[in-house]
Structure 1
Amino acid sequence: MMQRQNQLSGEAPVLKVMDTQCPFCSVQCKAVVTERWEPGAVRPVYTVEPKPNKASEGRLCIKGMNAYQHSLHRERLTVPMRREGERFVPISWGHALELIGRQFTMLQEQFGRDTVGVYGGGSLTNESAYLLGKFARVALRSKYIDYNGRFCMSAAASAGNKTFGIDRGLTNPLSDIPLAKCIILAGTNIAECQPTLMPYFTRAKENGAFIIAIDPRETGTTRISDLHLKVKPGMDAALANGLQKVLLEEGLLDEAFVHGRTKGFAELKEHLDALDLEEIAQLTGVSVANIRAAAIAYGKSSTAMVFTARGVEQQTDGYMAVRSFLNMVLMTGQIGKPGSGYGAVTGQGNGQGGREHGQKADQLPGYRLIENPADRAHIAKVWNLEPEELPGKGVSAYEMMEKVHAQEIRGMLVMGSNPVVSNPNANFVEEGLRKLDFLVVADMFMSETARLADLVIPVTSYMENTGTLTNLEGRVLLREASRPALGESRDDWRILCDIANRLGRGQYFEFDDAEAVFEELRVASQGGIADYYGITYERLRLEEGVYWPCPSPGEANTGRMFERQFAHADGKAELVPVDNHMPAELTDETYPLYLTTGRVLSQYLTGVQTRRSHSLAARDVESFVEMHPKTARSFRISDGELVRITSRRGSIVVRGKVTTDIRQDTVFVPMHWGDSQCVNKITNQALDPTCRMPGFKVCAVNIEPLTSG
């Protein structure tokens, strides 16, 4: 009927209406993609409209509007591809699975079970992330699994778990943001990374909120602020210490909250009393006056929220830097009530869910710990194993690459990630992956990592696979397949079941669809910190998303946490003294500038998908380096000129962009490009000692015009 009416009215007939969800950032906006034939067209035309939803309130950004383009791109992989010399040739799925089974088995028989590792991604559905962890520990029986979410959320996750006893991104629903009278945005560029959230902050400003932005650069986010603290890269923890010292000196503490609901205040007070505010101003590059103004604005507000993201977290003291900001939240009692709380602004589409169900080296499903005997016993029972059959803890994502380089790991499955571009010291990582005896990459495209593989297997796109994802506020959402798989591509979870069968472990992976995987995940997570037991596909269809923890099917969670107590056994949150940590790498005469990295609006992660969208690629055709005009003059660089950037690990060439938006001692390069523009070829591999997060946000570099070479 719809097609006939369209024909009578002269409109192009509708071929298909696809209800879907953006695959990119952690907001997970809903969308409707419509496919039509225009008169005389040789291919369909697509239109995209936002769909009302509780997170983005029916908004889509430019990435979400154009996400369908990569899903339909001509470079999509549609059949398994095996390396033969320098080229790849198509092979059947049967041949590909037989090859994987034979090679992984041979390596494990020769070198031990841990010689094969698994490297996952924070954009995989909960079902695929869960099954990837189970695959490593049950099918391969290897301890080596980690994922690119290590580079996204590990600092904030570790800090939240230690401080509150639980890590769930935002402690409040997004709807609380307009109720806050003061908001601190620390190291987060929401305007470019989660743009559909910006109206929450503009509404807060309309309601009288005072917004404080902490960033070495001016961005679309800092421009909405009332006070911009242009901190030196790597000095966020020291700045938060300064803010805490002022709160203490000005008596802006909620003493009843501190004494009734926290522990460790006496030690923190002693630490803060010993700090010198002038010294902190020197360390951070932020004046004492501005430190005082920010602290007083926050401390005097009736409601307040603090948000951190990669700018604070991707440091070699990222864990402690986040804890320093959490001290502020707890000292003032600004948590557990409407308009007051803390938010770790998740980066990847399923960055929250991806870290809850077993992709991390030390985790089991439900945010359980692999070294905890009770947790091992629970998961072993669900998986029909003995606890001692489960391997122990492996190592973090970058440390896995060190194991690869040392040939302790000789075979690897990479799924949903592009480690050659996303890891620090990327040249080292590429050298290591080239040493592998057998590398399998599951991807939609021939990524920079896939080009190194012995076998590349095609996976479905976001419009072709069904599964759940958990957004930044802890809301579990169901994204259902809206079109058939392209060519012979298969869902991630299906591929894992197929490989497990070839490894002789198929009896543990007997699933017919994604919902069956989720049903097992529910039971595996039951009673854990991230308890999904009360969430079902039926509920998700009816309620358009459910917050965790949700221990029973009849339970409804408001999304606001810690209203009465924290998740530690004694119900109290932990305060902790934080040192004024210096970056792992300092500038000197040879490398006189700090490099920091980040994102741009039109691109996502390593760009494998967004660079295949013609609309997005046209907005940013290449990478660039931002530098202050005085810095550019000092190094004899003109705007638009090609620039060589060199660190102790290597060099890259990108286009120069002269702007007053950045500190004179700092340059900025986005992270979305590979090959000669891959900024992670020069970033520092030094890791946070607690969460093993690399210090992406600060390293020492030199710059020169390319012609000078």
Structure 2
Amino acid sequence: MTSVPTHCPYCALQCATTLLPADRPGGVEVQPRGEGGLCRKGWTAAEVLTVPDRLTTPLVRNAAGELVAASWDFALDFVADRIRSLQASHGQDAVAVFGGGGLTNEKAYALGKFARVALRTSNVDYNGRFCMSSAAAATNRAFGIDRGLPFPLADLDGADAVLLVGSNIAETMPPAVSHLPADGGLLVVDPRRSATAALPGALHLQATPGTDLALVLALTHVVLQEGLADTSYLAARVDDADALYRSTAGWWPERAERVTGVPAATIRQAARVLAAAAPVHGGAGAFILTGRGAEQHSKGTDTVTACINLALALGLPGRLGSGYGCITGQGNGQGGREHGQKADQLPGYRSIADPAARAHVAAVWGVDPADLPGPGKSAVELINSLGTPGGPRAMFVHGSNLLVSAPNLASVRERLAALDLLVVADVVPSETALLADVVFPVTQWAEEDGTMTSLEGRVLRRKAAVAPPGEVRSDLHVFAGIASRLGCMAAFSTDPEEVFEELRLASAGGKADYSGITWERLDNEELFWPVPAVDHPGTPRLFADRFGTPDGRAHVVAVDHRPVADDLNAAAPMYLVTGRLLQHYQSGAQTRRVRELAEAEPEVYAEIHPRVAAQLGIADGRPVQLRTARGSMVLPARVTTDVRPDTVFVPFHYGGAGAVNELTNDVLDPVSRMPEFKACAVALSAAALPATGVPA
């Protein structure tokens, strides 16, 4: 190894890096590549390659209940035998597969194929259901296409205004902050005074948790009632402009203030800043961007829809230097939702219920379309069905740590324990891996070749720099090994480039068309999907001429505000909200093992307002008990004015007794099937237990 160009393994920003040799076995040194920088997580990413408890051999649970080392052949034989027996007794859907938004495109594609061809089960979904599903549902019904940012991130550089709804990118993807406007052009909707809301010149709209939808309806009301809308754009590019007026007429700012807590004057100010930045009024451009804070609700799809409607009223989508976009979170959160991990999806962002799509993909796979299963259950519904009568008896988990990241963890733990077989592929002994019957040690970012797709729809090459340790293999080996043992005649290659070549064929003609992309082109070109031919330059910007709907127009969907499903009550008079920290990533399985990051934020905590702390007699650092309808936990208090007096904030990166998803609500958005992570009623009280007993 000399130097290897690749990308950071963490968020969907996928910062360009160069890997250099290091003076330890299996180690590398990470350096930023090009003009971009790295956040603290990116700089320390190489540490995860050589953590002391790295999984290096398959593990199988013995009769004594212990996970013990086994050979690959033994573990694969064991799993295949159990799958064969369970499906013989309970049918094909007795097995489920759960994927992850951090898997490469090749792994995500192979996982979906493995579920539907080798296992012939409809029970497949992935953790992106917890991240991107509400934005995906909203953009699909409005624009006909779901690509997180339908424009390059660099387009933000020239904008006069950016509205961020539920996104704290100063901590989740710090290098992206350089693209945000200064001098009063940044508008941040967040119940906390986050690092993003605290940026110089930002206007913070500190809404009550769960009221983003009402706030955006009020912003749109101001735009329409003050004559600030782009009426020519609406007439030419939108199907039902009148629906914008009808759905927002009742949301004057004073009413919205009573619901959201944001002053009416601030609402009007924010609307006018956005309008002044819009091209119709001579502005340099405006963007509206959403994140998980807006989307992880039982009305998340409608909240994103309201943001899209506001963008349409201002004439932003499809216009150079303006638009609506969703800030994808996971490293391959975009590509991971395009090629078959979702319960209702086939490669190329095709619907599994579409006969033409089934015929096309079945031909690539060499199977009869009639043999492909239909749509399956969404993530929470799939988890809730595990081990129940008629539900799955076995499950494969790839690239996900359900025992930290899923909502209502007591129920998740119960359902996983009810399985006859739990198979987990991971790089470290995560909380979920430690519960498994079989654990496969798999490669991670610097040990594998493949592709990732960034938040802006750009397909990127991931390149191997070091050999994996011990007996570590790719997830592709798991799929191929089980498929062959089950007698599946379809091909399952373990070569990621061969898998990508098949993905190209399967995606051809789909919304997310990768057929014109080759690894060689990616080494030399910037390619944004769709790329329908090898001589096609790619599509950095969507919607310039038409939207992806049948009539080419953006579709307005009228929406209205509704309260949080588990709203405040006499017994639980405050809101619990959850979120991320600068130092950690997702379930923390990786970052909690990096010394520098773990020392910076070693344990979970609860942010509470000084007024609440005084009322309850809780000093900073002392234990506070949080109780919701689903469970309780004791955490050290962090007293701060950054949260509203009616709000408690807890980061979600910690496991064990520090897993806040013990408390969160698994009620679902009716459209996206997203659970309501982001707001529920909670009761607070001073606790007798010492805060030092809380594990990290």
TM-score per shorter chain, which class?
over 0.9
Question: 2:436 maps to which residue?
Answer: 453
Matched, 1:603 2:581: no
- The question of whether the paired residues in 2 share the 8 Å contact of 1:304 and 1:334 is answered with yes
Could you give the per-residue CA deviations for residues 345-366 of structure 1, whole angstroms, max 9, x where no partner exists? 0010000000000000000000
Question: 1:8 maps to which residue?
Answer: none
Q: Kindly provide the amino acid, as one letter, of the partner of residue 501 in structure 2.
A: E
Question: 1:293 maps to which residue?
Answer: 269
Gaps of 5+ in 1: 1-14
Q: Please identify, of 690-699 and 405-414, the stretch whose mean Cα deviation from structure 2 is larger.
A: 405-414
2-structure distance, mates of 1:417, 1:500:
21
2-structure distance, mates of 1:252, 1:564:
23
Task: Say which SS state the counterpart of residue 707 (structure 1) adopts.
Answer: coil
2-structure distance, mates of 1:45, 1:164:
44
Q: Please identify, of 97-106 and 294-303, the stretch whose mean Cα deviation from structure 2 is larger.
A: 294-303
TM alignment of 1:301-700, pairs within 5 A: 301=277, 302=283, 303-407=285-389, 408-505=391-488, 507-543=489-525, 545-700=526-681
Question: 1:19 maps to which residue?
Answer: 5
Structure 1 residue 32, shift from structure 2 partner: 2.3
2-structure distance, mates of 1:660, 1:315:
25
1-structure distance, mates of 2:630, 2:26:
47
Q: Kindly provide the amino acid, as one letter, of the partner of residue 171 in structure 1.
A: P
Work out the number of aligned pairs and report it: 681
1-structure distance, mates of 2:603, 2:105:
33
Q: Kindly provide the amino acid, as one letter, of the partner of residue 102 in structure 1.
A: D
- The question of whether the paired residues in 2 share the 8 Å contact of 1:337 and 1:560 is answered with no
Task: Say which SS state the counterpart of residue 505 (structure 2) adopts.
Answer: helix
TM alignment of 1:273-292, pairs within 5 A: 273-292=249-268
- The question of whether the paired residues in 2 share the 8 Å contact of 1:170 and 1:345 is answered with yes
Report the TM-score, using the length of structure 1 for normalisation: 0.94
Task: Say which SS state the counterpart of residue 300 (structure 1) adopts.
Answer: helix
1-structure distance, mates of 2:368, 2:184:
55
Q: Kindly provide the amino acid, as one letter, of the partner of residue 316 in structure 1.
A: S
Question: 1:35 maps to which residue?
Answer: 21
Q: Kindly provide the amino acid, as one letter, of the partner of residue 618 in structure 2.
A: I
2-structure distance, mates of 1:274, 1:645:
36
Structure 1 residue 46, shift from structure 2 partner: 5.4
CA separation of 1:101 and 1:656: change in aligned 2, threshold 3 A? same
Q: Please identify, of 457-466 and 43-52, the stretch whose mean Cα deviation from structure 2 is larger.
A: 43-52
Task: Say which SS state the counterpart of residue 386 (structure 2) adopts.
Answer: helix
Task: Say which SS state the counterpart of residue 588 (structure 1) adopts.
Answer: coil
Could you give the per-residue CA deviations for residues 21-63 of structure 1, whole angstroms, max 9, x where no partner exists? 21100011122233344xxxx87985431111xxxx3311110
Question: 2:49 maps to which residue?
Answer: 71
2-structure distance, mates of 1:229, 1:198:
18
Choose which of 124, 133, 144 in structure 2 pairs with 1:145: 124
2-structure distance, mates of 1:542, 1:644:
55
Question: 1:6 maps to which residue?
Answer: none
Question: 2:280 maps to which residue?
Answer: none
CA separation of 1:510 and 1:277: change in aligned 2, threshold 3 A? closer
Matched, 1:59 2:42: no
Choose which of 86, 91, 96 in structure 2 pairs with 1:107: 86
2-structure distance, mates of 1:439, 1:393:
22
- The question of whether the paired residues in 2 share the 8 Å contact of 1:405 and 1:429 is answered with no
Question: 1:228 maps to which residue?
Answer: 204
2-structure distance, mates of 1:51, 1:699:
42
Q: Please identify, of 583-592 and 111-120, the stretch whose mean Cα deviation from structure 2 is larger.
A: 583-592
Task: Say which SS state the counterpart of residue 373 (structure 2) adopts.
Answer: coil
Report the TM-score, using the length of structure 2 for normalisation: 0.96
Question: 2:233 maps to which residue?
Answer: 257
CA separation of 1:277 and 1:179: change in aligned 2, threshold 3 A? same
Q: Kindly provide the amino acid, as one letter, of the partner of residue 491 in structure 2.
A: F
Structure 1 residue 146, shift from structure 2 partner: 0.3
2-structure distance, mates of 1:29, 1:558:
20
Matched, 1:239 2:200: no
2-structure distance, mates of 1:499, 1:46:
32
Structure 1 residue 642, shift from structure 2 partner: 2.1
Choose which of 204, 214, 217 in structure 1 pairs with 2:192: 217
1-structure distance, mates of 2:215, 2:150:
23
CA separation of 1:510 and 1:148: change in aligned 2, threshold 3 A? closer
1-structure distance, mates of 2:2, 2:152:
34
CA separation of 1:149 and 1:512: change in aligned 2, threshold 3 A? closer
Question: 1:4 maps to which residue?
Answer: none
2-structure distance, mates of 1:45, 1:379:
40
- The question of whether the paired residues in 2 share the 8 Å contact of 1:179 and 1:338 is answered with no
Structure 1 residue 276, shift from structure 2 partner: 4.0
CA separation of 1:376 and 1:591: change in aligned 2, threshold 3 A? same
TM alignment of 1:183-202, pairs within 5 A: 183-201=162-180
2-structure distance, mates of 1:116, 1:576:
37
Question: 1:96 maps to which residue?
Answer: 75
Task: Say which SS state the counterpart of residue 222 (structure 1) adopts.
Answer: coil
Q: Kindly provide the amino acid, as one letter, of the partner of residue 543 in structure 2.
A: F
Structure 1 residue 16, shift from structure 2 partner: 5.2
Q: Kindly provide the amino acid, as one letter, of the partner of residue 518 in structure 1.
A: F
2-structure distance, mates of 1:558, 1:510:
30
Choose which of 133, 137, 140 in structure 2 pairs with 1:154: 133
- The question of whether the paired residues in 1 share the 8 Å contact of 2:7 and 2:14 is answered with yes
2-structure distance, mates of 1:36, 1:182:
43
Task: Say which SS state the counterpart of residue 28 (structure 1) adopts.
Answer: coil
Structure 1 residue 170, shift from structure 2 partner: 0.5
2-structure distance, mates of 1:191, 1:405:
41
Alignment identity in percent? 46
Q: Kindly provide the amino acid, as one letter, of the partner of residue 330 in structure 1.
A: L
Q: Kindly provide the amino acid, as one letter, of the partner of residue 162 in structure 1.
A: R
2-structure distance, mates of 1:394, 1:629:
47
Structure 1 residue 637, shift from structure 2 partner: 1.2
Structure 1 residue 555, shift from structure 2 partner: 1.1
RMSD: 1.5
Structure 1 residue 558, shift from structure 2 partner: 4.9
Structure 1 residue 209, shift from structure 2 partner: 6.0
2-structure distance, mates of 1:43, 1:300:
56
Task: Say which SS state the counterpart of residue 469 (structure 1) adopts.
Answer: strand
2-structure distance, mates of 1:609, 1:542:
31
2-structure distance, mates of 1:655, 1:452:
28
- The question of whether the paired residues in 2 share the 8 Å contact of 1:364 and 1:370 is answered with yes
CA separation of 1:386 and 1:558: change in aligned 2, threshold 3 A? closer
Q: Kindly provide the amino acid, as one letter, of the partner of residue 292 in structure 2.
A: R
Could you give the per-residue CA deviations for residues 618-669 of structure 1, whole angstroms, max 9, x where no partner exists? 1110111111100111222110112221111011222210000010000100
2-structure distance, mates of 1:43, 1:391:
45
1-structure distance, mates of 2:552, 2:628:
47
CA separation of 1:264 and 1:511: change in aligned 2, threshold 3 A? same
1-structure distance, mates of 2:545, 2:562:
33
- The question of whether the paired residues in 2 share the 8 Å contact of 1:405 and 1:431 is answered with no
Question: 1:178 maps to which residue?
Answer: 157
Choose which of 60, 63, 73 in structure 2 pairs with 1:82: 60
Question: 1:7 maps to which residue?
Answer: none
